[in-house]
Amino acid sequence: MVNTKVNLCGIELDNPVIPASGTFGFGYEFAELYDINCLGTFSFKGTTLEPRFGNPTPRIAECPEGMLNAVGLQNPGVDAVISEELPKLAKCFHKPVMANVSGFSEYEYVTTCERIDAIDSVGWIEVNISCPNVHGGGMSFGTSAEAAGQITRAVRAVTKKPLIIKLSPNVTDIASIAKACEAEGADAVSLINTLMGMRIDLRRKKPIIANKTGGYSGPAIKPVAIRMVYQVYDAVKIPIVGMGGVSTAEDVLEMMLAGATAVEVGAANLVNPFASRDIIADLPRVMEKYGVQNLTDIIGGAH
């Protein structure tokens, strides 16, 4: 009998599969389709201090082997998440959940994390310093080691929960940014977020997405994600949550061999709402196929 359990920052997961923020809502929507307690956990929709309507439409463009999105962090704001969304989630999900936090200033990150830190059902806080679809914040904090370290230090001062910093792939040296986050108190890093991309409508001769650019996700970005997880594993001692193009149980093993302790599933949930459930169901078969008894044994095994 294979063992799919992993430990992420001191919290045991039944398996390493985590639906990624922005692809799983606040969880209860998917609970209408299947029992989401089969998940390791999930990262809920990116939450900001104030409510956000998001970017103008159209926000989505299909691409070969993936998609572009520029939703723009649409969410009801942290107070509504705490008072309305999380109580609904508590009725159908009985494990610690991962909170995903975004902001446009150090004050917003700090204040939002401070409020989320008080919520018992939240196990980890995933701080997104890498969203490419908003202006005046988000990714700008994740493109330099100094800025990433500054946000990590500020948030670390107000939260006791495990702190995961979500990194941008739109940089030249992701390992140095990961090291800066580790040095300032991050308990883990998650990577990668989406790659900057664009599509142009041939009839209109204009960008398809109203925001002009969007974040590219899906199977096509997996080789980039694997490479970056591999590089960061060599650079830091803290756990890595790997993501980017994961859609099968085989992808989970590949990401873990590169260095991931847990693995987020993003765009695949938008293509098939049962994707994360099906990956988990198939994981024991794939582990047996490749002679893996305990998933923890293969973390970083390709190094």
Position 140 pLDDT exceeds 80: no
Contact 205, 229 (CB under 8 A): no
CA distance 181 to 82: 27
Position 172 pLDDT exceeds 80: yes
Query: Which pLDDT band, with edges at 50, 70 and 90, does 93 fall under?
Result: very high
Position 134 pLDDT exceeds 60: no
Position 268 pLDDT exceeds 60: yes
State residue 188's pLDDT score.
98
DSSP helix/strand/coil, 152? helix
Position 137 pLDDT exceeds 60: no
Position 270 pLDDT exceeds 70: yes
Average pLDDT of the chain? 95
Beta-ladder partners of 241: 190, 262
Position 23 pLDDT exceeds 60: yes
DSSP tag of 283: H
- CA atoms within 13 A of residue 105's CA, in its CB half-sphere: 5
CA distance 77 to 182: 28
Query: Which pLDDT band, with edges at 50, 70 and 90, does 141 fall under?
Result: confident
State residue 139's pLDDT score.
54
Catalytic residues: 131
DSSP helix/strand/coil, 295? helix
What one-letter code names the amino acid at 226? Answer: I
Query: Which pLDDT band, with edges at 50, 70 and 90, does 179 fall under?
Result: very high
Query: Which pLDDT band, with edges at 50, 70 and 90, does 142 fall under?
Result: confident
CA distance 126 to 166: 6
198-208 confidence digits (pLDDT tens): 999 999 999 99
Structure tokens at 119: 């919520």
Stretch 36-52: mean pLDDT: 97
Give the Cβ contact number of residue 54 at 10 Å. 15
CA distance 271 to 69: 13
Position 278 pLDDT exceeds 80: yes
Stretch 259-281: mean pLDDT: 98
Domains of the chain listed by start with CATH number: 6-54+73-198+216-298 (3.20.20.70)
Query: Which pLDDT band, with edges at 50, 70 and 90, does 143 fall under?
Result: confident
Q: What are phi and psi of 77, to 5 degrees?
A: 90, 155
CA distance 303 to 36: 33
State residue 131's pLDDT score.
63
